[in-house]
Structure 1
Amino acid sequence: MNTSYLSLLIQRQAQKYGERVALKYRDYATSTWIPVSWNQFSEKVSKVSRALVALGVQAQENIGVFSQNKPECLYTDFGAFGVRAVTVPLYATSSEAQVHYILQDAAIRFLFVGEQYQYDVASRVQNLCHTLKRIIVFDSSVKLAPGDTNSLYYEDFLALGDNMELQQQVDKLTAESSPQDLANILYTSGTTGESKGVMLHHSCYEAAFKAHHGRLTTLGEQDVVMNFLPFTHIFERAWSYYCLDRGCVLCINLRPQDIQKTIKEVRPTAMCSVPRFWEKVYAGVLEKINETTGLKKMLMLDALKVGKAHNIDYLMNGKTPPAMLRAKYKFYDKTIYSLLKKTIGIENGNFFPTAGAAIPEKVEEFVHSVGINMVAGYGLTETTATVSCGWIGDYRIGSVGRLMPGLELKFGEDNEILLRGETITKGYYKKEAITRNALTEDGWFHTGDAGYMKDGFLYLTERIKDLFKTSNGKYIAPQAIETKMVVDRYIDQISIIADQRKFVSALIVPEYQQVENYAKDHHIAYTDMKDLLQKTEIQELFRMRIETLQQEFAHYEQIKRFTLLPEPFSMERGELTNTLKIKRPVLLKNYAAEIEKMYEE
């Protein structure tokens, strides 16, 4: 019987682990973490399966999940897999237009929503969207719109699954499931335009599990994993499914902005994150060093130097550190490094997968120097996440690791990375032409990323379609410059402008708190942020810092002019995707006046 692996995963784990804890979620009323056992998890999943059958959900029908991270997202996913339904996750911050587009495109009849914001958006969209029949609400404190008699709270939905007579139908559907079934449609938020629904079949996840077994050898039942990125993101989704397969405990962080607090409450052994998380940790440590004086400052700086020599210059390059260095490293490991890890909340750390954007080398060096096992990797929605990753003791600074087992890689035109293997999508939902452009007849997928291999490690150089050409015919890779700049503690967000322009300029969102501190320390009077950012001293401060950071770039790649913005880039104005990537075309439109001003003679 070749049923799909995920359709019975939770039930199989419950037979193995019973009353052991599978999940935890934070109860905000009591500030405590509520455990859910494997048995409870399995029971919920089976109820969801029966309730979906009661609602009349068909095999391979698309159902939507529009919520921030909650245990209910996982109950719904696995309950759907049990009856061969397809789950389509939507980012919790999606706009009405995005929700409307996805519901129409995937012809979704049943939409599960998390909190008040998602319900309000969904109920407004329901009037415009003829496919949507019913909204099911996870959070029982959500107030339904006046006259809404059709929406269901999750507990009432689950009550439909109390009818055990439906189990026979569920069992039949599970038995008919196969790896060739569609599991998810994940809509990429697209920095360049319209969303595309990436189809991931059960076979993609099964192949991904198999590949990771060979690489992530230390992950297991003893691990406590924090879910911090949205489940809608392939990185967190595939990782969470894999952690459940390994028997880890998942701790579900509801609100991304609470991570500094919740990570200290949970003290996880693993957590996948984007580089921004570590950039903020690095900036915080530099800040601390800057505020310190005397012996303490000397020790902190020496600890970083010793860590780099021990872990990077020697161990990373396969060499044995000399005895004296080993002794110093041991001393700092017991004092400074362990205190730092404790302060972040990761003193129990096993390893920390990081991907989703380029990791600034300074940040990566720092993380490895203090003995945090960051595992850098590379992947796309279309590749079911991981294409390549480093491993503990097997990494190179600046690289995205070794290719995963089972994947083939070759380089195409402009050094584009082409991939082939079982984890690759079979295409975009209802978009044949775009699928034909992305996938060759013989199964090679065009990633749109350029790179090269060295000593078995993959390095990324740029997004091919993001290369800018100046009016002088020079090519600029904006990400390379942005990655370098965003390490600075005064810079929060940056977007490089250069395409068809005489020189490189930048729109910069400063770290406002840092700028205010600087103004206070230097007695700079101002009325508001806009006024402060125009002050000569502040302009000079940024000019100096940019000059220092860009020394290694060729003259034509360097930022000549910049504009400091008094407000951050925002999703509401369409400037950021749901994964917080910058939408360059929107910025060009929204900041046209500011950009033109930088190019005035």
Structure 2
Amino acid sequence: MSYDDWPNLATMFFEVAARHGGRPFLWSKHNGAYRPQTWADVAEEVRLLSAGLVDLGVKAGDRVVLVSENRPNWVIADLAILAAGGITVPAYTTNTEDLHEHVLRDSGADVAIVSTTVLAKRLLPACDAVGTGTLIAMEEMAGTDKVTVVSWNDAKIRGEAGRNAVETRAQDVTRKDTACFIYTSGTGGLPKGVVLSHHALLSNIKSIEAGFRPLITGVETFLSFLPLSHSYEHTCGLCFPISIGAEIYYAEGADTLIANMPEARPTIMTCVPRLYEVMRQRILAGVNREKGKKKEFFEKAVRLGTKQVNGERLGLIERAQDRVLDKLVRDKVRARFGGRLKALVSGGAPLNPDVGTFFASLGLTLLQGYGQTESAPVVSCNLPDKIKMATVGRPLPGVEVKIAEDGEILVRGGLLMDGYWGNEESSAEALKDGWLHTGDIGVFDEDGFLMITDRKKDLIVNSGGDNIAPQRVEGILNLEAEVGQAMVYGDKRPYLVALVVPDDNYLVEFAKRHNLSPRLAEVADEPALLTEIKAAVDRANQQLSAIEKVKRVMIATEAFTVDNGQMTPTMKVRRHMVKELYGEALEGLYR
């Protein structure tokens, strides 16, 4: 079968699994080393769990909430739900009890699956409050008067009698049937459930395969890090790899991602811009600690590489130097990323072109794309044959994009959602005459490459009526070594001000110089720190237009993180949360 012939994602998986049998598929860490599960192993686990779900009462169209970190069992649970004709409702592991309750109540799920007792501490009370009666747990735990806990193994045992009927049952699921509700990460409020059909996801992975076909030259290897509960990773880091018979490694976490790269040796990796910014800062911090020739060679490699990325010709001597630096510098950088990397893919938020150019100058191909949960999600992407760092590439094959009169990006094709679950008003606003109204502002360049200006709702309109894209300004501020994170502010105001989180490495060095604590909360009010941060902002201002320049600055008392609710799980700033905390102080910068 092909993308057009597969009736659903579960049938696609079973067919690919039958083809690859004993080959490795999913890799995870056990006792300090990566161990594989084969395609055949995973297929059998899916059969058992899927039949177990049916035995527990899951019927076609039933919603099952899934709360787990990235691991092979996440994949098994997702495919088992789909094979039973159910609808997977992934929830972020960072959700509060209230958010879990919202997802459970809004989706109407009667069954939930959880990986650990730690995650169950927030999920179980929510199940109890809503009346979700069955919780399947990968670790041993107790239930409540209202919630029956079934162990992962017991659920599979319950499926032994019905395992042979699973693939036949799966074939009854049609392309138009719903595969999942992906709840938006809530940068602006309570999450909405995006309804994605099997057809939408199959259409999108077909488009991705058509675009990336030149890169697929054998058995590809993916390193999965972003939450599988996010549409970007679910489609690009799971559904697409399954469709091409790839292997998937699961990173242990954010702190070990760089260490996991040489272990997994990925050929394709998807990440969000924030992670690339952090990697760039770490590489530069390491280089700045070096002395003599090592630092000189690195800076020369970046300089010559940048010239080539920008289309400039190297002179005869520069070409000879570049060949030597490719061995001395770039080969070492490539080795840190595993040595086999064909492409780093960036999505989920705008990537500063300077960050992309930095990696490209060091011999790594970084492809920026664009999409939304509502489009399953990939709309466009740069491809290796022609990369424009300031753009998100051309629309993928099979995807139509046009720009409305007010500059909004509109998308049409088989990849679109069916709507927001139980929210007809929002669905009607987003889907009009077959076009998805993205809420993003953009333009096409002369080569048909899409350029994103900003989110329509995030645009700052100053008191002079000028439209300012905050993400562009923040991206330039974040390139300064002293700046870890930044959020600009200034709607209906005469100029911009900024809230800045200092870079961790810089803050440690600053604290040593001034004999102060390196804890941000204890030094945020230090005049010397504000002076140095302001100097960094002033340097960034040289790259900004008059209306984009940041006139005043304040320092945050803590970093923007997922744990404190100031970032989404895909590392985008939750502006409404940050404004709640710092709004009064930011307003004070205008007095």
TM-score interval, smaller chain: over 0.9
Residue of structure 2 aligned with 1:476, choices 468, 474, 481: 468
Aligned residue type for 1:301: E
**Pair 447,554 (structure 1): closer, same or farther in 2 beyond 3 Å:** same
CA distance in structure 1 between the aligned counterparts of 2:519 and 2:332, rounded to whole angstroms:
38
Name the counterpart of 2:333: 340
**Pair 57,530 (structure 1): closer, same or farther in 2 beyond 3 Å:** closer
**Pair 528,280 (structure 1): closer, same or farther in 2 beyond 3 Å:** closer
Name the counterpart of 1:208: 204
**Pair 283,578 (structure 1): closer, same or farther in 2 beyond 3 Å:** closer
CA distance in structure 2 between the aligned counterparts of 1:260 and 1:134, rounded to whole angstroms:
38
Q: In percent, how many aligned pairs have the same letter? A: 26
Residue of structure 2 aligned with 1:144, choices 113, 134, 142: 142
Where structure 1 has 5 or more consecutive residues not aligned to the other structure, the ranges are 315-319
Please list the CA deviations of residues 250-275 of structure 1 after superposition, one character each: whole Å capped at 9, or x if unmatched. Answer: 01124333212222322222210011
**Pair 428,563 (structure 1): closer, same or farther in 2 beyond 3 Å:** same
Name the counterpart of 1:55: 56
What SS class does the counterpart of residue 126 from structure 2 fall into?
Answer: helix
CA distance in structure 2 between the aligned counterparts of 1:510 and 1:527, rounded to whole angstroms:
11
What SS class does the counterpart of residue 162 from structure 1 fall into?
Answer: coil
Contact 1:224 1:269 (C-alpha < 8 Å) held by counterparts = yes
Does residue 133 in structure 1 map to residue 111 in structure 2?
no
Contact 1:54 1:161 (C-alpha < 8 Å) held by counterparts = yes
CA distance in structure 2 between the aligned counterparts of 1:365 and 1:149, rounded to whole angstroms:
52
What SS class does the counterpart of residue 499 from structure 2 fall into?
Answer: strand
**Pair 102,321 (structure 1): closer, same or farther in 2 beyond 3 Å:** same
Contact 1:493 1:510 (C-alpha < 8 Å) held by counterparts = yes
The worse-fitting range, judged by mean Cα deviation, of 330-339 and 532-541 is 532-541
Please list the CA deviations of residues 334-368 of structure 1 after superposition, one character each: whole Å capped at 9, or x if unmatched. Answer: 220111222x3332111111111111122111111
**Pair 529,197 (structure 1): closer, same or farther in 2 beyond 3 Å:** closer
CA distance in structure 2 between the aligned counterparts of 1:474 and 1:394, rounded to whole angstroms:
33
Name the counterpart of 1:259: 257
Length, aligned pairs only: 585
What SS class does the counterpart of residue 151 from structure 1 fall into?
Answer: strand
Where structure 2 has 5 or more consecutive residues not aligned to the other structure, the ranges are none
Contact 1:275 1:358 (C-alpha < 8 Å) held by counterparts = yes
**Pair 341,467 (structure 1): closer, same or farther in 2 beyond 3 Å:** same
CA distance in structure 1 between the aligned counterparts of 2:27 and 2:150, rounded to whole angstroms:
25
TM-score relative to the length of structure 1 = 0.93
Please list the CA deviations of residues 484-508 of structure 1 after superposition, one character each: whole Å capped at 9, or x if unmatched. Answer: 1112222222111101223211111
Query: How far does residue 324 in structure 1 lie from its aligned partner after superposition?
Result: 4.7
Query: How far does residue 3 in structure 1 lie from its aligned partner after superposition?
Result: 5.9
Contact 2:272 2:570 (C-alpha < 8 Å) held by counterparts = no
CA distance in structure 2 between the aligned counterparts of 1:32 and 1:295, rounded to whole angstroms:
36
Give the alignment of 1:170-185 within 5 angstroms.
Answer: 170-185=166-181
Residue of structure 2 aligned with 1:188, choices 174, 177, 184: 184
CA distance in structure 1 between the aligned counterparts of 2:44 and 2:502, rounded to whole angstroms:
49
Please list the CA deviations of residues 187-218 of structure 1 after superposition, one character each: whole Å capped at 9, or x if unmatched. Answer: 00222222111111011111112212221122
Contact 1:308 1:365 (C-alpha < 8 Å) held by counterparts = yes
**Pair 433,528 (structure 1): closer, same or farther in 2 beyond 3 Å:** closer
CA distance in structure 2 between the aligned counterparts of 1:386 and 1:394, rounded to whole angstroms:
18
Give the alignment of 1:233-382 within 5 angstroms.
Answer: 233-239=230-236, 240-314=238-312, 324-342=317-335, 344-382=336-374
Name the counterpart of 1:515: 507
Contact 1:220 1:247 (C-alpha < 8 Å) held by counterparts = no
**Pair 146,465 (structure 1): closer, same or farther in 2 beyond 3 Å:** closer
CA distance in structure 2 between the aligned counterparts of 1:222 and 1:527, rounded to whole angstroms:
46
The worse-fitting range, judged by mean Cα deviation, of 508-517 and 431-440 is 508-517
Structure 1 runs (4+) deviating above 6 angstroms are 146-149
The worse-fitting range, judged by mean Cα deviation, of 394-403 and 305-314 is 305-314
Alignment RMSD: 2.1
Name the counterpart of 2:556: 565
CA distance in structure 2 between the aligned counterparts of 1:98 and 1:45, rounded to whole angstroms:
28
Contact 1:310 1:329 (C-alpha < 8 Å) held by counterparts = no
Contact 1:181 1:202 (C-alpha < 8 Å) held by counterparts = yes
What SS class does the counterpart of residue 153 from structure 2 fall into?
Answer: helix
